[in-house]
Structure 1
Amino acid sequence: MNRLAGVTSPYLLQHADNPVDWWPWSPEAFEEAKRRDVPVLLSVGYSACHWCHVMAHESFEDQVTADFLNEHFVSVKVDREERPDVDAVYMEAVQAATGQGGWPMTVFLTPDTEPFYFGTYFPPAPRHGMPSFRQVLEGVRQAWQTRRAEVTDVAGKIVRDLAQREIGYGGARPPGEDEMAQALLGLTREYDQQRGGFGGAPKFPPSMALEFLLRHQARTGSEGALQMARDTCERMARGGIYDQLGGGFARYSVDRDWVVPHFEKMLYDNALLCRVYAHLWRATGSALARRVALETADFMVRELRTEEGGFASALDADSDDGSGRHVEGAYYVWTPEQLRDALGEQDAELAAQYFGVTEDGTFEHGASVLQLPQQEGVFDAEKIESVRRRLLERRAGRPAPGRDDKVVAAWNGLAVAALAETGAYFDRPDLVEAAVGAADLLVRLHLDEHAALARTSRDGQAGANAGVLEDYADVTEGFLALASVTGEGVWLDFAGLLLGHVLARFTDPESGALYDTAADAEKLIRRPQDPTDNATPSGWSAAAGALLGYAAHTGSEVHRTAAERALGVVKALGPRAPRFIGWGLAVAEAALDGPREVAVVAPSLADEAARALHRTALLGTAPGAVVAYGTEGGEEFPLLAGRPLVDGAPTAYVCRDFTCDAPTTDPERLRAALGG
């Protein structure tokens, strides 16, 4: 076992028995490189990454390659999900140098942490114009030994170039109607009219852009925005990217038609998409959206919840195919013969027709990814449900994909928000309880005595890595959603503590710009700062949304001003690159709408009429609306102050900037005031 044997990251532990003498990211690793006068190989990946596993099997498990690495390099392995800051700064360098990026990320550094040569996956032998990994190692070793001055000059120039890449949009005004209209037009131009979604292959679920479209439609009535959101959601839900048996979404589709996924299933995708489909149902009443939201929520609880109550990060794309080979998608795909074996001849024919399983297959080796190419209404629903249940039972007997069971604070915050809202919309208190359990874990395990967040935990132990901006922002988002759903003001209190860190440690006091790491975090070659969305909302946009929501709850001008300053970047980037700042656009929609503040005051929280009024408030489509629910005179929420009952009945107040419309006791009038 190498130095990774004692770490908590499941990804690093996968490499603990490599013959490579790996180091975790640490000052000691770079001190060792200085002592030996050798360069550093930095390898960054994550546990559900297919090509990370491939490169590990081909190169890092090979004794000859390992011997060469151990002699000529100090090798450092990083889990990008534990250290998104390390990943971000070196990925920026990789993309600047090569025009592309991805994982595994392979970077060669000087002992002073400065990068000088870059790549992603390297094969064990030259292939398709790519050099072999061994050729790369030989070339870097030779350059280090014979052209050291050139190497260090290149490294220094790269670091200087990166240091000059400052985001200059802090402090600008938030976007207005013109910028929002331009952003919608930009999305319309890139929209795939035939297949849904945006752009070509590979095609990723556009979760944040979908939230913007739904909020824009709710505020402006744009049917075009709703149509793009609705059609994209239906295409994804009918495609192979969605698990038609067990619920939940794979990471992305390798084709434009959503047919063949890259089979890894990530917590963050499923949390974001669960919320999107719940919001689509809220806006349209779509039965498909309702089913997918609930199935995705159930998938998260069933397959990702940990013993401690949090949610694991991911399920692998690869699994044992039953013959000892680790194969991508083996757990999920079916051949006609496998259908016949599980269902019998007659039902197998029905299943093949319903799920689009063909003799030639839609994947590899004659296997098919299950889809819903037909309209369900032409099939017997009871029969199909029997087929689905039996296939799911048969699949459960296959070797399951590995699970990365570390708990990431940010992604659990997204899951808390999704489960809390989905549980409230569909009268599923078990989902709300799951959200509360995860939130409790975050408070109990991830928060220290100063309310500073740890990025990860595993097996009930907090990790050593500090939370980054997205952790503070997304956990706050989850707490605010939980406060609205449960009527428990303690979640608003915790949100305020976390946002105190955002204002004090992540915000530039002069410009209002936001950084991904705290001012007192470990110093890297540059302080990462990226306002654009990736697979999750950017920390910058998520923080703007959390600040805005907290300000709506409390009336805090400090938080409102900070949110508006942060939204300046959306004004600059939204019209030009709407696909990549979708969450920022969604937050801007909330700012343009108010957001609306809803207080539901009740004689008792157990009162059925009060609960009905509260649910109506939660189902309103007004963008970013916050809901306070409590008893008359209650002090848990500032919005409840001075809000009396009307004639002793449960009463709702709809306000903007703490200026309220006439109170109502009628759920229909409240619905009309909030949409939905």
Structure 2
Amino acid sequence: MQEETRVEWRQWGQDAFDEARERSVPVLLSLSTTWCVDCHEMDATTYADPNIAANLNDRYVPVRVDADREPRIRERYAAGGFPSTVFLTPDGEVISTATALAPDGMRQVLNRVAETYAEKGDDAGRVPRALAGDLPPAGAVDATIEEQLAGQLGEKFDERFAGWGESAKFPLARTAEFALKRERQQALRTLDAVRDHLHDEVAGGFFRYAGRRDWGDVHHAKLLDTNATLLRAFAHAYVYTGEDAYREPAESTIDFLTDDLWSGVAVGGSMGPGEGVEYWGKDAAGRADARQPRTDLTAYAGGNALAADALLAYYGYTDDERAREYADRILDYLERDLIEHGSVVHFRERGQAGPRDTLSDLAAVVGAFTRAEQTIGYGAGVAATVADHAIEALHDDGSFRDGPAEGPGLLDRPLRPLDGNAAMANALVDLATLTGDDEYREVARETVGAFAGASHRIGVQVAEYGTAASRLVHDPLTIAVADDPGSDLHRAALRVADHEKVVVPNAGDSIAPELDRGTARVVGVDEPASDPEALMGRVADRQ
């Protein structure tokens, strides 16, 4: 979906690096996305300049990568925004980085990098610290991890405008979820701000972020991952408050995902910003007559798993059959087209298969199918198959790598992303509780412990790490329901106001065979319950 340019772009691969080595020139890596306005602008101006294109073609090997399609390349080389303009040695080490460059800036950088490489050769490159091979500092998994992150909530919360931080405001859905149990008013005020400033009231869904502290300067791209995680966060806020102010944005986000982003079999990856405020300020009729934003309908594994998880959470709280129907369709797509013996393919499109076994995809898929087990009584087997493969393929030295340590450039160097490890640890806690297999919990504990020595340096952006630690130190509220999914008792269990709980349907057939049919037990409370009201009482006893 890139603009036509005069640059002779190569695909990412060993051939491009081999060519750079043979010619003794650097590689220019351009990381772009379909939803990035500056990416298209740079194609239309900088890369369209014939002199710049000729300079690039003569003195570099130019490589173009779609950052959404290649998450492992993105995580290693992105320069903090898109486009990322990254200059590499023929071994893939980093010489220099920038984001968008106007023609004059690009001319200067091209000359400087070429001179640097001519003078220093491969010594001009460096390996980013995260890829240097050092393991994160391990430590004990104890209550201090949650306490430190809960303290960060207060320190970083913007009392005036809500959200965390004092510059650009990203929605930080997982941080809001962490705060729902620990600093609820902060969480609700932040979700209020997200709803008031980033929610599209016409077509539903949420915009990517706001460039200013006061939630102004909205960046209007709508990304699947952003919308899926916010859908779940608003659904959780609804189960705590019962207020339509949180249910309605979640419901309209379902409209967006299942209409504007629906590919026919699953949810597409993104909708671009279009003409910015001019487009998004129009009503539905005005938008229909305007030029439509670029839409990428590639159905990525991780984003769709996040969407299924969120749709099923919403279904569990509301009985919304449409949410369940689309979640079922997504899960079918994942299981049929993207999961192979536990391995997960990032996407398939017109015979093309994306990269395999990225940690973010694997963690999201395990999370989606454990959610499915809790809400519709199916999924633990798929979750276990994917989790087993992830543990075997990616878990070593106490934590998960972001994917197979193989490929050109720096792809063969292990990267251990904290957010991906936290997401997988949380999913494994759910899976251990649903299956009764404590090996999953032990892997989760080892994974959280692998980063615990530096937990005091972890910020609110990765608050899900605190959630995982908390659920390992204090077992999550677990409700074993010896009844079918959808029964009154099961529905009541799903609606208990604790979004970190685990609900086990048909528990009389699995982890609680002693339970009489039609009863439920709150783990840790001896007396079972036979109706929703009694169940609420048992939950209160446990708390």
TM-score (norm 2): 0.94
- Match 1:135 to one of 108, 121, 129: 108
Kept in 2, the 8 Å contact 1:208–1:586? The answer is no
Kept in 2, the 8 Å contact 1:186–1:576? The answer is no
Deviation readout 1:317-371 (Å, 9 max, x if unpaired): 1x2xxxxxxx33432025xxxxxxxxxxxxxxxxxxxxxxxxxxxxxxxxxxxxx
Deviation readout 1:34-55 (Å, 9 max, x if unpaired): 2333221111121111221221
In the alignment of these two chains, the number of paired residues is: 541
| Distance in 2, Cα, partners of 1:552 & 1:633 | 14
| Aligned AA (1:20) | V
Kept in 2, the 8 Å contact 1:553–1:597? The answer is no
- Match 2:309 to one of 410, 417, 422: 417
- Match 2:348 to one of 454, 457, 468: 457
- Match 1:110 to one of 52, 72, 89: 89
| Distance in 1, Cα, partners of 2:313 & 2:25 | 53
Shift, 1:228, TM fit: 0.4
Matches within 5 A, 1:279-318: 279-307=236-264, 309-317=265-273
| Distance in 1, Cα, partners of 2:26 & 2:467 | 44
Does 2:213 match 1:256? yes
Shift, 1:570, TM fit: 5.9
Alignment gaps of 5+ in structure 1: 1-12, 95-100, 126-131, 217-224, 320-326, 335-390, 533-537
SS of residue matched to 2:97 = strand
SS of residue matched to 2:127 = helix
| Distance in 2, Cα, partners of 1:587 & 1:601 | 27
Kept in 2, the 8 Å contact 1:186–1:575? The answer is no
Residue aligning to 2:503 = 627
Shift, 1:160, TM fit: 8.2
| Aligned AA (1:443) | E
| Distance in 1, Cα, partners of 2:368 & 2:450 | 23
- Match 2:278 to one of 327, 330, 349: 330
Kept in 2, the 8 Å contact 1:590–1:625? The answer is no
Deviation readout 1:356-393 (Å, 9 max, x if unpaired): xxxxxxxxxxxxxxxxxxxxxxxxxxxxxxxxxxx323
Kept in 1, the 8 Å contact 2:480–2:503? The answer is yes
Shift, 1:519, TM fit: 4.6
Kept in 1, the 8 Å contact 2:479–2:493? The answer is yes
| Aligned AA (2:281) | V
SS of residue matched to 2:259 = helix
Does 2:191 match 1:233? yes
Does 2:132 match 1:164? yes
| Aligned AA (1:470) | S
| Aligned AA (1:235) | A
| Distance in 2, Cα, partners of 1:31 & 1:184 | 49
Relative to structure 1, the CA distance from residue 409 to residue 531 in structure 2 (aligned partners, 3 Å threshold; closer, same or farther) is same
Shift, 1:104, TM fit: 1.2
Shift, 1:496, TM fit: 0.4
Residue aligning to 1:440 = 332
Relative to structure 1, the CA distance from residue 446 to residue 525 in structure 2 (aligned partners, 3 Å threshold; closer, same or farther) is closer
Deviation readout 1:423-472 (Å, 9 max, x if unpaired): 22122111111011111111111122x3211112235x452311311110
Residue aligning to 2:481 = 600
| Distance in 1, Cα, partners of 2:423 & 2:498 | 18
- Match 1:194 to one of 160, 165, 178: 160
| Distance in 2, Cα, partners of 1:21 & 1:542 | 39
Residue aligning to 1:63 = 50
| Aligned AA (1:315) | M
Shift, 1:559, TM fit: 0.8
| Distance in 1, Cα, partners of 2:361 & 2:348 | 13
| Distance in 2, Cα, partners of 1:162 & 1:483 | 36
Larger radius of gyration: 1
Relative to structure 1, the CA distance from residue 567 to residue 68 in structure 2 (aligned partners, 3 Å threshold; closer, same or farther) is same
Residue aligning to 1:128 = none
Shift, 1:62, TM fit: 2.7
TM-score (norm 1): 0.76
Does 2:401 match 1:503? no
Matches within 5 A, 1:412-561: 412-448=304-340, 450-458=341-349, 461=351, 463-488=353-378, 491-508=379-396, 511-519=397-405, 524=410, 527-532=413-418, 538-561=419-442
Deviation readout 1:43-72 (Å, 9 max, x if unpaired): 112111122122111112333322221222
| Aligned AA (2:136) | G
Deviates more, 1:613-622 or 1:523-532: 523-532
Residue aligning to 2:459 = 578
| Aligned AA (2:176) | L
- Match 2:19 to one of 24, 32, 42: 32
| Aligned AA (2:438) | E
Shift, 1:162, TM fit: 5.5
- Percent identity of paired positions between Structure 1 and Structure 2: 29
Shift, 1:513, TM fit: 1.9
- Match 2:74 to one of 87, 90, 109: 87
| Aligned AA (2:2) | Q
SS of residue matched to 2:95 = strand
| Distance in 1, Cα, partners of 2:74 & 2:175 | 24
Kept in 1, the 8 Å contact 2:20–2:90? The answer is yes
| Distance in 1, Cα, partners of 2:128 & 2:234 | 44
Alignment gaps of 5+ in structure 2: none
Matches within 5 A, 1:202-241: 202-216=168-182, 225-239=183-197, 241=198
Residue aligning to 1:381 = none
| Distance in 2, Cα, partners of 1:259 & 1:51 | 19
SS of residue matched to 1:205 = coil
Deviation readout 1:254-308 (Å, 9 max, x if unpaired): 122223310001111111111111101111112201111111122111111111x
Deviation readout 1:123-160 (Å, 9 max, x if unpaired): 112xxxxxx10221122233334x1xx232232xx238
Relative to structure 1, the CA distance from residue 259 to residue 141 in structure 2 (aligned partners, 3 Å threshold; closer, same or farther) is closer
SS of residue matched to 1:75 = strand
SS of residue matched to 1:331 = helix
| Distance in 2, Cα, partners of 1:173 & 1:440 | 39
Deviates more, 1:562-571 or 1:43-52: 562-571
Residue aligning to 2:528 = 663
Residue aligning to 2:2 = 14
